[in-house]
């Protein structure tokens, strides 16, 4: 009886394991067929491909597996990217296949993501202030700094972007209204800059030398509450 019980459990574990690795194997297969030409074999975007907008270094991405799957499915533009260089793969792959790609990227290249995010959030030093004051600080900084690229509405349309085009210094600020990032993720991008989290350039710079965590958290709070989801 005990032998039978052990056999059943072993078979069950084996089936779960082979299912998981089967998922990853499929994710890997599709990644290597489709994603690799832009994002590279190790997710380092080191393929040398000449694109106006350089692909993200997936190995440094702040996005969760679920968020990655959403972007693979709907394309980057649907979630605020300026261009549609990252296309919508929902027309090519099934939902489960897309989840497998995201899982493969998360587990293979970006396995340190959660630890990085957790570490930085644990080091956050925010003074306790009420929501009204936080809104006031966030709004002031957004208007003073962020809006110059992202626009007052956060839609990525600004004079700075237009002037930079004239000099062929192309900038592609995100349409923040469409972002799927959490307040914590916005805070970490504002604090460390987009390059740290996988963007090619430092066009979205790190603001940690200029503002303390309380002010940076206020900006993230303001963006999440007042910009994201607006038209």
Chain residues in the site for other proteins (CB under 8 A): 144-145, 148-149, 159-160, 163-164, 166-169, 171, 205-207, 209-210
| Nearer to other proteins among residue 95 and residue 169 (C-beta) | 169
The residue (of 134 and 161) whose beta carbon lies closer to other proteins is: 161
Distance between first and last Cα of the chain:
65
CB of 162 to other proteins, least distance (A): 9
Closer by beta carbon to other proteins, 49 or else 159: 159
Tokens of 104: 């493969």
Instruction: Give the E-state strand segments of the chain in sequence order.
Output: none
- Please, which residue, 132 or 144, has the CB nearer to other proteins? 144
Q: 26 — alpha (psi -120 to 50), left (phi > 0) or beta?
A: alpha
CB of 114 to other proteins, least distance (A): 28
Cα separation, 228 vs 180, whole angstroms: 8
DSSP secondary structure code for residue 63 in this structure:
-
CB of 214 to other proteins, least distance (A): 16
**Closest CB 155 distance from other proteins, rounded Å:** 17
- Rounded to 10°, the helix 95-108/2-30 angle is 90
């Amino acid at each position: 009886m005990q032998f039978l019980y052990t056999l059943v459990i072993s078979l069950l574990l084996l089936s779960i394991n082979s299912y998981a690795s089967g998922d990853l194997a499929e994710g890997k297969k599709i990644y290597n067929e489709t994603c690799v030409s832009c994002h590279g074999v190790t997710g380092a975007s080191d393929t040398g491909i000449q694109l106006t907008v350089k692909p993200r270094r997936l190995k440094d991405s702040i996005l969760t597996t679920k968020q990655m799957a959403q972007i693979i499915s709907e394309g980057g533009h649907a979630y605020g990217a300026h261009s549609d260089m990252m296309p919508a793969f929902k027309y090519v792959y099934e939902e489960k296949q897309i989840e497998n790609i995201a899982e493969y990227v998360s587990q293979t290249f970006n396995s340190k993501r959660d630890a990085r995010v957790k570490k930085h959030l644990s080091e956050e030093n925010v003074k306790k202030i009420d929501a009204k004051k936080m809104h006031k600080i966030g709004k002031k900084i957004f208007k003073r700094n962020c809006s110059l690229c992202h626009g007052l509405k956060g839609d990525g349309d600004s004079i700075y972007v237009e002037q930079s085009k004239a000099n062929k210094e192309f900038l592609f600020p995100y349409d923040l209204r469409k972002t799927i990032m959490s307040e914590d993720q916005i805070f970490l991008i504002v604090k460390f800059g987009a390059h740290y989290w996988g963007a090619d350039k430092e066009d979205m710079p790190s603001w940690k030398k200029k503002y303390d965590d309380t002010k940076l958290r206020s900006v993230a709070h303001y963006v999440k509450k007042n910009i994201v989801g607006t038209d």
